[in-house]
A and B are shown apart, each in its own frame.
Chain A
Amino acid sequence: MTTFVQPTVLDPVAYAPRRKARRPSAVLLWIAEHALLVALVVMFLFPVVFVTLTSLMTSQQTLTGALWPNPFTFQNYAKAFTDAPLALWFANSTMYAVLATVFMLVSSVPAAYALAKLRFPGSNLIFVAIIIAMLLPPQVTAVPVYVLWTQVGLTGTLWPLILPNLLGDAFSVFLLRQFFLTIPPEYSDAARVDGASELGVLTRVIIPMTKPGIAAAAIFLFFHSWNDYFGPLLYASENPSAWPVAYGLATFRGAHGTDWGITMAMTMIVTIPIVVVFFFAQRVFVEGITLSGVKG
């Protein structure tokens, strides 16, 4: 059966291309919004600007109310490395963050895959347990875990913070699971039909397809480890040679007390690597966060 279609004639008035009239109130709104944005930007950049300015002041000048460095003192940045073992702190932070991330990936990716793709009895319970573990304040479990580590004799090092990642990290498993859920089952089914084992499916199908998600989880844990304060406070504070950056910065007391110029320089030095990493990983990072929060 064929239908004879009448070409529709468009009403010239109703469908004339209409340019959006820029009514005065719309322009005012645009100006108001952008003025507000600019004001907010100024307020948000204010701390950054002043920390930078202070880091360029001599220590005497930081104690006055002066707002502009005079003279510009760049030695603070050099002194930050000599007055405090900043390089050692960086090395410790790097070791902690890198190892924690690598261990997490090894242990959490398979677990997340199992929870996302393999239907098995108990998976729901495990997932619930992971959510609880993820949201529990660390101070609740701190005491017994601490006693455990004193008995193994690893207090005074960062290992109590690094090693548990070999046994999975709750938040990472959660995040990775959400990513793996977005891969349609047809891909893994096809691989299975081809005779791949589950491990094969994981390594040859799923992981290549979720690289951004895995990278996001890795970046999250990296930042979390880099910025961790309570963990090192508990485990590494007794041994200054194990201090990471986050703890060292808070605890740094120069031989002559607090030198604000150097302290601010250290703050800048500590922040810049993170900002650099962010710029390179921006897209992955934002994708990672939005996927974890939005699909809720």
Chain B
Amino acid sequence: MITTKRLVAIAAIASAAALTLAGCSGSTGADSGPIGAAPTKLEGTVSLWHFFSDREAAVIQSVVDDFEKANPGVKVEVHSGQDDTKLTTAIASGKPVDVGISYSTDIVGSFCSSGAFADLTPYIKRDGVDLAQYPQVVRSYTEYKGTRCTLPMLADAYGLYYNKDLLSQFGYTEPPKTLSELETMAEKMTTLNADGSIKTLGFNPLMGWAENAAAHYGPSAGAEWLNAKGEAVISQSPGWTELMQWQKAFVDKIGYDKLNKFTSGLGQEFSADNAFQTGQVAMNLDGEWRTAFIKDQKPDLNYDTAPFPTADSHTDLYGGGYLTGNIAGIGKGSKNKELAWALLKYLTTDTHAIVKLANGLGNVPTTKDALSSPDLKLPAQFGTFLKVMADDHSMTTPPSPVGAGYQQTFNDFWNKWQSGQVSNLQAGLKTVDKQIDDAIALTKGP
């Protein structure tokens, strides 16, 4: 008979099992012991985990093939289509993840502090990797609190795309340089249907659609997210207030419901019916990869690019934009760290490899040498993004232990703001700061 005593015993055994298993999970911290001398010959198998798929995965494969050719005796096992969650799970479960590539900088904060990615500083020092090759902003998003556990592998830069045909149709030859100009031009270029609904838009200011996210607009007003201590300072950074008030006024002028209805009917962002590519939206904020998509899906589109307009009171910032990028590191459980480091170094510092990746993926090269390489075969419109990459006013979103969670919190608030549910903007921003600080506090130990 199952007596109470037996139940307690069962519970006790089960809890003991739970505790033991919990204790078994993962070793403690990153191994920061000294590394040996660089190996003279590389051989063995190394695994590469990345998030690309289909066409883009083929580009990675070609670069991997080059690495294998240069190092006979080395075999690279490629795992494609792995997003951050899968990467984390793989590392945590002790799978041999030698080199992992993430599509964004979200994991840098947590991976560097937990040791999921190994500290690269000893390797960088030993092999004399020149970090000055990377622009300052790019360097900043690959490390967290002094630990550099990733190196940048290609970057993304954001700017303004504009449809030259549509612009000239309304008498414009130059793209807008300030947000007011953007709004004025967009208004002129918006056409309506007979029933008053929107037919085409000059510019879609609706936050949450496609690439309209707070992070991508921040650089237009020099708006800050976190301070040096990692605390949220959104309410203290005047740039955000300026941007939000401009954006809401713009949305209200078009009409929130009208705009929402129009936006809901637009096509999928990465398909052939992308709104900019079909001409439904004349000007758009987008990343440099769009040039590759246009070349692939609508090569006859007459378009050009320019740095994204800045706020009226921050014209000195013009030329910059939002930067982020892919990052790569060596997994904690890697059994062959030297081989992993060799592959990582190749992907992130070898000019030939970076140029090949940039050409194939349509992303921005990260090293100064690659940026000025004559082998870059990118569309003319790509030039804007190379400049944005090198511009001093470009900004990124700082790494944090909650990954991109803090951006999510702010975007949620901005959505409420633009739909008119917020009466006191300042108070709301202060609440956002508190929510971000609380979330970060939860990740800290006792």
Contacts and interface: CB of A to CB of B under 8 A. Distances in A.
B3 to A, nearest CB: 10
Contacts of A156: 86, 89-90, 95
B18 interface: yes
A168 to B, nearest CB: 17
B394 to A, nearest CB: 28
Interface in A127-164: 144, 147-151, 153, 155-156
B86 A257 contact: no
Interface of B: 1-2, 18, 21-22, 24-25, 53-55, 79-82, 85-86, 89-90, 92-95, 267-274, 296-297
B90 A151 contact: no
A256 B24 contact: no
A259 B270 CA distance: 11
Given A121-B1, A256-B297, A151 B270 contact: no
A63 B82 contact: no
Contacts of B55: 255
B93 A257 contact: no
Given A125-B2, A144-B18, A150 B271 contact: no
Nearest to B80: A240
Interface residues of A, number: 25
A122 B271 contact: no
Contact of A151 (B21, B85, B269): B21
Contacts of B272: 59, 256-257
Interface of A: 59, 63, 121-122, 125, 144, 147-151, 153, 155-156, 237-240, 253-259
Contacts of A256: 270-272, 296-297
A225 B41 CA distance: 49
A199 B352 CA distance: 70
A237 B87 CA distance: 11
22 contacts: A63-B267, A122-B1, A147-B21, A150-B25, A150-B94, A151-B21, A151-B24, A151-B25, A151-B93, A153-B94, A155-B90, A156-B89, A156-B90, A238-B82, A240-B53, A240-B81, A253-B53, A253-B270, A256-B271, A257-B270, A257-B272, A258-B268
A147 B22 contact: yes
Contact of A150 (B93, B273, B274): B93
A122 B2 contact: yes
A258 B93 contact: no
A59 B297 CA distance: 14
B211 to A, nearest CB: 15
Given A125-B2, A150-B94, A239-B79, 16 more contacts: A121-B1, A144-B18, A147-B21, A147-B25, A150-B25, A150-B89, A151-B21, A153-B94, A153-B95, A155-B90, A156-B86, A156-B89, A238-B82, A256-B271, A257-B272, A258-B271
B345 to A, nearest CB: 26
Contacts of A147: 21-22, 25
Given A121-B1, A147-B21, A153-B94, A238 B271 contact: no
Contacts of B24: 151
B21 A259 contact: no
A63 B89 contact: no
B271 A259 contact: yes
B111 to A, nearest CB: 16
Contacts of A63: 267, 273
A144 B15 CA distance: 12
A239 B2 CA distance: 43
B268 A257 contact: yes
B93 A255 contact: no
A263 to B, nearest CB: 11
Contacts of A259: 271
Nearest to A125: B2
A238 B90 contact: yes
Contacts of B297: 256
A122 B297 CA distance: 67
A156 B79 CA distance: 11
